[in-house]
Amino acid sequence: MAALTLPILFAHRVKELGEGVALREKKKGLWRRISWDEYDTHVRNFSLGLKSFGLRKGDRVSILGDNCPEWLYADLATQSAGGISVGVYPTNSYVQVKYILDHSQSRFVIVKDQEQADKILLIKDQLPFLEKMIVIDMKGLRKYDDPLLTSFHEVEEMGRRIHEGNPTLFQEMIDNTKSDDVAIIVYTSGTTGPPKGAMLSHQNITSVLDSFFEVIPISRWDSLVSVLPLCHVAERLFSLFIPMKSGCTINFAESIDTLQADMTEISPTIFLTVPRILEKIHSAITIKMQDAHPVKRWAYDQFLPLGQRVAERRLSKQDVSLFLRLAYFFAYLLVFRPLRNRLGLLQVRECVSGAAPLSKDIMKFFHSIGLMVKEAYGSTECTGVFSMPVGNDIEIGTTGKPIPGWEYKIASDGEILIKGPAVFAGYFRDEEATKNAKRDGWLYTGDIGEFDDQGNLKITDRKKEILITASGKNIAPSEIENRLKFSPFIKEAIVIGDRRPYLAALIQIDLDNVADWAQREGIPFTTFKSLSKDPEVYKLIQGEVEKANKEMSRIESIKKFVLLEKELDRDDDELTATMKVRREMIEKKYGDLIERLYK
Amino acid sequence: MPKLEVKNLNINFGGIRALNGVSFVVEGNQLFGLIGPNGAGKTTILNIINGVYHPSSGNIFLDDKDIVGLKPYQIANIGVGRTFQNIELFKNITVIDNLLLGRHRFIKAGILSGSFYLGKCLKEEMVNRDHIEEIIEFLEIEVYRKKIVRTLPYGIQKRVELGRALSMDPKILLLDEPCSGMNTEETEDMARFILDIKEEMGISIMMIEHNMEVVMDIADQICVINFGTKIAEGNPKEIQSDPKVIRAYLGED
């Protein structure tokens, strides 16, 4: 087993499942199936094609674009040829793309479409290492005659011809991969400073897979829809690596616009998500219910509290009485089941949320409709997963127990330290950051947390983000922020209060929902700015803040807040690629505004 | 490469001479812009090419074949597609059905096999559906596929109409104000689609458009009409600096 690498694992699955469905892609309105054999052929041809371009062992290949089967082919093909694949967020600006391509010294870049290709063409002169850009969808690009550019199809054709001439070459290439070779580099979006490239070896990934399957067994009959960006380690784990081990099916939606409908058609059994998406689903349901038919609205209003009662009893491990169970059964049939069906989440048996802390209220909401959302904790540096609840043993507010294979301890300052075969190989071309993160084999996660008496991990916050108020109390801002964000009218909240007498917040309203509310109330507005400045809107948010304050201790309550007059934006460096708030940047930028909160 | 040649076109409506000896050539795979003030006769030219009006005199050659005197459906059959200034879709059926209607000239199955969806008809429908799905993907209207046209936003309806014109596999497309009434973003999208149609599908395009920014940006050749007479022709640069054009647009002084 020691010599197991991802391409070898993939080959096992191909041999086992052959004609079975590996991927589905919606094209021309129909779901097209791609079997494991076809998957393998694409990977093989593309890999040989890359090789013929001169890809050497250890060379970096960047992939830039939205999720699609070719993304997976390119990734595996690179690894099969001994290369290292680097995913880049398709939403990155050309400046950010340039940083990653330059830092990783990529010789090849695979782009999805014209939009991404144009970014590369803009910066190609500043990328001395770049030799070829391979384009998946040539629409709008056929007239470009830049020698840098080749189509994905052409590379596959080259590979196919090579394979005909030398049918054993690809097998030799796979046999040459070593388990401690670096397989992928994941650039972390980092809330501070430029992104760092975390190197993950084949062994890191295969060992995390082994532990993962002990907690959530996934079979070939499971299916997932690939939605989150593939360059993120969690999505890569779910869309590429887990299927290699389990044989489950991955589905690609037609476009972002059709995602909802496509989800309903596929009805996946596994759902990997992030708090932001769950928040969005929750507020969409809340708002849409107001426009629903009165009978539907009545049923929803009656049954949701019932669902919540059952969910709370289950979460606190109390017995649910027969009467309640019966009532819940009816509520499920009449309301929750159709609702879940509409969301495309009817068949979901494992729903994992990660990347950021999830508010307890959102979690309870999904449990009420029978969707047992569980929170996992992990980071790129520990190959995605460290702890996760097993089965329905979910302790709200915790991220479950560490998965097998990890050693762990809590440092004296509360930082979580972990050790094991899946701790990453180091940051690419950054010795110093590596030394900071990895000392004596222990990974310093930078997160503060503790274990409860049952051994569940409770994350307090990022070490850097803990606030210490003027009175000396330590406060984790993310929990308070999540309480605020539970309101459908609040999209983003940043709690301030480090070395200050009380807590204050910068709040960004949710444009869609507040605009909808303003229309009902007959409040005229033109733009986001005019809406944020409206005194009625301020009152609305004040009510929401007070609601959140009620559930928190006096010291944790928000005394003052101000509404941001502009939406936070990635292009202004206020959010990371994963839409996390860059606190440091915002505190600097809105310094004046913050000062006014303390006058 | 299909080439459209308009020679000395005249048309009278009662006593009014709406077109007065207009001639121009749309070369193969060219984006040809037709501009001019309101009432200059631009749409009339499209209507003549289309066979809706018959000219008082003059000829129109498509690939050296004179098409004056043919009926509109015959002209459509030889590959002239068209969109209209005010959207002319079937409002109460779906996007797919509208596009399939554009495939009418390729559908040969009779009433009998059509009613019972028999072998040949089924095969034909699959081929044509496949074709329009390509257009749906091209125009990025997947999400509206099964929606009733009436319920769609204006900008999307314009796109669907373009899709219907494309679904008949035209050699040349006549677009009557494709960007009218659109916001900046919709206009940019439309301009990109028009360029892609020319470049990816190799279709010649003749376009009437009032949005000068768009015309100057994407047209290869521009012809300016005023009061039924051609006053200038050239590439965008030449047109922008032509004193006669400036006078027609800004008035005489």
Q: Where are chain B's structural domains?
A: 1-79+170-253, 92-167
- B140 touching A (Cβ < 8 Å): yes
Q: Do B143 and A261 touch (CB under 8 A)?
A: yes
Compute the nearest-CA separation of A257 from chain B (Å). 6
DSSP-derived 3-state class of residue A9: helix
Q: How far is B196 from chain A (nearest CA, A)?
A: 6
Which band of pLDDT confidence, cut at 50, 70 and 90, is reported for residue A194?
confident
The residue of chain B with its CA nearest to that of A30 is B133
Which of B194, B168, B195 is CA-nearest to residue B79? B168
pLDDT of A288 above 50 = yes
In chain A, the percentage of residues whose pLDDT exceeds 70 is 99
What count of residues does chain B have?
253
Contact criterion met (CB < 8 Å) for A29 and B140 = no
Q: Which of B137, B141, B193 to mutate to test the interface with A (most CBs of A within 10 A)?
A: B137
Question: How high is the pLDDT of residue A144?
Answer: 83
A199-212 pLDDT tens trace: 999 999 999 999 99
Cβ neighbours of B184 (radius 10 Å) = 8
- Residue A590 three-state SS: coil
- Cα R_g (chain A), whole angstroms: 25
Query: A254 vs B142: CB contact, 8 Å cut-off?
Result: yes
Nearest CA in chain B to A141: B200
**Distance (Å) from the C-alpha of residue A144 to the closest C-alpha of chain B?**
11
- The domain defined by A6-177+221-269 folds into Rossmann fold (3.40.50)
Residue type, B33: G
Q: Is B142 on the interface with A (CB under 8 A)?
A: yes
- Calculate the alpha carbon distances from B152 to A467, A574, B138, B181 in Å: 50, 35, 18, 15
Search chain A and give the residue with CA nearest B126.
A28
Chain A residue numbers touching B200 (CB-CB < 8 A): 139-140, 142
* Residue B122 pLDDT: 84
The minimal CB distance from B142 to the residues A140, A142, A258 is found for A258
Residue B251 confidence (pLDDT): 67
Q: Name the minimum distance, in Å, from the CA of B222 to any CA of chain A.
A: 22
Spell out a b/e string for B4-23, using b for 16 or more CB atoms within 10 Å of the CB, else e: bbbbebbbeeeeebbbbebe
Out of B138, B142, B199, closest to residue A255 by CB:
B142
Please tell me which residue of chain A has the smallest CA distance to B143. Answer: A258
Q: Which of B130, B143, B196 shows the shortest C-beta gap to A139?
A: B196
Q: Are B77 and B169 in contact (CB under 8 A)?
A: no
Per the listing, tokens 């993950």 go with A200
- Shortest Cα distance from B219 to chain A (angstroms)? 16
B138 part of contact set with chain A, CB < 8 Å: yes
CB interface of A with B, residues 220-259, below 8 Å: 254-255, 257-258
Set of chain A residues whose Cβ sits within 8 Å of the Cβ of B134? 28
Domain residue extents for chain A: 6-177+221-269, 203-215+378-464, 276-346+348-376, 466-597
* Residues facing A34 on adjacent strands: A23
pLDDT digits (tens, 9 = 90+) for A142-166: 778 899 999 999 999 999 999 999 9
A32 Cβ under 8 Å from any chain B Cβ = no
pLDDT at B118 over 80: no
How close B178 comes to chain A (CA, Å)?
20
- Which chain B residues are closer than 8 Å to A257 by Cβ? 142-143
Angle (CA) A379-A382-A384 rounded to 5° is: 55
Distance (Å) of CA A512 to CA A481, A494, A536, A576: 20, 20, 16, 22
Counting one residue from chain A and one from chain B, the pairs whose CB atoms sit within 8 A come to 30
Chain B residues with beta carbon closer than 8 angstroms to that of A139: 138, 196, 200
Q: Which of A28, A140, A261 sits opposite B130 (nearest CB)?
A: A28
Q: Does the CB of A27 have a partner CB in chain B at under 8 Å?
A: yes
User: Which chain A residue lies closest to B193 (C-alpha atoms)?
Assistant: A140
* CATH 2.30.38.10 is right for the domain spanning A203-215+378-464: yes
Half-sphere exposure of A590 (CA within 13 A, CB side): 28
Nearest to B200 among A28, A142, A261 (CB): A142
Q: Which residues of A touch B130 (CB under 8 A)?
A: 28
pTM of the model: 0.85
**Which residues of chain B does A254 touch, with a Cβ-Cβ cutoff of 8 Å?**
142
Q: Which residues between 297 and 336 in chain A have a beta carbon less than 8 angstroms from any beta carbon of chain B? A: none
Give chain A's mean pLDDT.
92
Question: What are φ and ψ of residue A184, in 5° steps?
Answer: -140, 155
Query: What is the tens place of the pLDDT at every residue in A319-372?
Result: 999 999 999 999 999 999 999 999 999 999 999 999 888 888 899 999 999 999
**For residue A141, which residues of chain B lie inside 8 Å, CB to CB?**
none
Chain B residues with CB-CB distance to A255 below 8 A? 140, 142-143
Q: Residue B91 contacts by C-beta under 8 Å, 6 or more apart in sequence?
A: B148, B149, B150
Q: What is the pLDDT of residue B84?
A: 92
- Inspect the interface and report whether the beta carbons of B145 and A28 lie closer than 8 Å: no
Better-scored residue on pLDDT, A465 or A81: A81
Q: How far is B106 from chain A (nearest CA, A)?
A: 20
Distance CA A548, CA B29 (A): 63
Statement: residue A191 has pLDDT above 70: no
| pLDDT, position A394 | 92
Q: How many other CB atoms sit within 10 Å of the CB of residue B182?
A: 20
| C-alpha–C-alpha distance, residues A548 and A484, integer Å | 6
A476 pLDDT higher than 70: yes
Q: What is the mean pLDDT of residues A466-479?
A: 83
* From B138, B145, B196, residue closest to A29, measured CB to CB: B145
Residues A527 and A515: their CA atoms lie apart, in Å, by 9
In this prediction the ipTM stands at: 0.73
Q: Which residue has the higher pLDDT, A552 or A507?
A: A507
Work out the minimum CA distance from B195 to partner chain A, whole angstroms: 9
* A524 CB within 8 Å of a chain B CB: no
Question: Is it the case that residue A190 has pLDDT exceeding 70?
Answer: no
Chain A stretch 538-597, residues whose beta carbon is closer than 8 A to a beta carbon of chain B: none
Half-sphere exposure in the Cβ direction for A253 (13 Å, CA): 24
What average pLDDT does this structure show over A172-187? Answer: 95
| Identity of the highest mean pLDDT range in A154-168, A474-488, A580-594 | A154-168
Fold of A466-597: GMP Synthetase; Chain A, domain 3 (3.30.300)
pLDDT at A489: 93
Residues from chain A contacting residue B192 (CB–CB below 8 Å): 140
Distance of CA A583 to the CA centre of its chain: 19
Q: Which residue of A has its CA nearest to B139?
A: A139
Name the minimum distance, in Å, from the CA of A567 to any CA of chain B: 20
Which pLDDT score is estimated for A2? 45
In this predicted structure, the answer to whether residue B120 has a pLDDT above a threshold of 90 is no
Dihedral sign computed on CA atoms, order A510, A512, A513, A519? positive
Interface with A, mutate which of B95, B126, B128, B143 (most A CBs under 10 A): B143
Interface test with B, best of A28, A141, A145 (most B CBs within 10 A): A28
Whether the predicted pLDDT of B250 surpasses 80: no
Rounded distance between C-alpha atoms, residue A160 and residue A166, angstroms:
10
- Asked if B133 has any chain A CB less than 8 Å from its own CB, the reply is yes
Tell me, what's the pLDDT at A1?
Answer: 43
Residue B196 to residue A254, Cβ atoms within 8 A? no
- CA nearest to A256 within chain B: B143
Q: Is B238 on the interface with A (CB under 8 A)?
A: no
Chain B residue nearest residue A139, CA to CA: B200
Two tokens at A286? 């809340």
Distance CA B225, CA B42 (A): 7
Q: What is the CATH class of B1-79+170-253?
A: alpha beta
User: What mean pLDDT is predicted for residues A438-446?
Assistant: 93
